[in-house]
Amino acid sequence: MNSKPRLNPDIAHRHHRVRVIVAMSIYVLLLLGSVYYIKHQHPTGPLLVTFALAPTLPVIWVMWSLYVYLTQADELQRRVHLTSLSMAAGVTAFLTLTYGFLEDFAGFPHIAAWWTFIVIDMVWGVTSCVLWCRYK
């Protein structure tokens, strides 16, 4: 990563936030559209797979945006985000492992894998807020 940020980190953060809001709005629209189409039109084969995967496209954009932001962020922003992302990854890995055992050995109901995305995002959000509070 470049040690000298090109764009001012505050502006880079604002750009990233706008990109995430736009991408997640598209995500919601694609998700609702895909669910509606699959439920009512019952597509099969490659078309079904295409509609099932359509909502992931804006998520790729969010990941790219995050990468761009982290290359332009200053050292404290980078530290907070990477620390909170590591913590979120650790907590999510532990939770999915634990629930996987409960599912397999204790007969707990099945939970779809996409919940991993929700859990990691939630834990990431909370940990980055907590970490930022420490520096205020």
Partner 1 sequence: MKNRIHVLRAEKRWTQAELAERLNVSRQTVNALETEKYDPSLPLAFAIARLFGRSLEEVFQFEAGSAPQTSRREE
Minimal distance, residue 27 CB to partner 1, in Å: 27
Q: Which of 131, 136, 133, 128 is nearest to 69 (CA)?
A: 128
Task: Kindly state whether residue 68 participates in binding partner 1, applying the rule CB under 8 A.
Answer: no
109 Cβ contact list (under 8 Å, min separation 6) = 103
Site for partner 1 in 106-135 (CB under 8 A): 132, 134-135
- Please select the residue that binds partner 1; options are 33, 52, 60, 75, rule is CB under 8 A: 75
Report d(CA 15, CA 20) in Å as an integer.
9
3 binds partner 1 (CB under 8 A): yes
Compute and round to an integer the Cα radius of gyration of the chain: 18
Q: Is 4 in the site for partner 1 (CB under 8 A)?
A: yes
Q: Between residues 105 and 135, which has the closer beta carbon with respect to partner 1?
A: 135
* Cβ contact 23:61 at 8 Å: yes
Residues of this chain that interact with partner 1 (CB under 8 A) are 3-5, 8-10, 13, 73-77, 132, 134-136
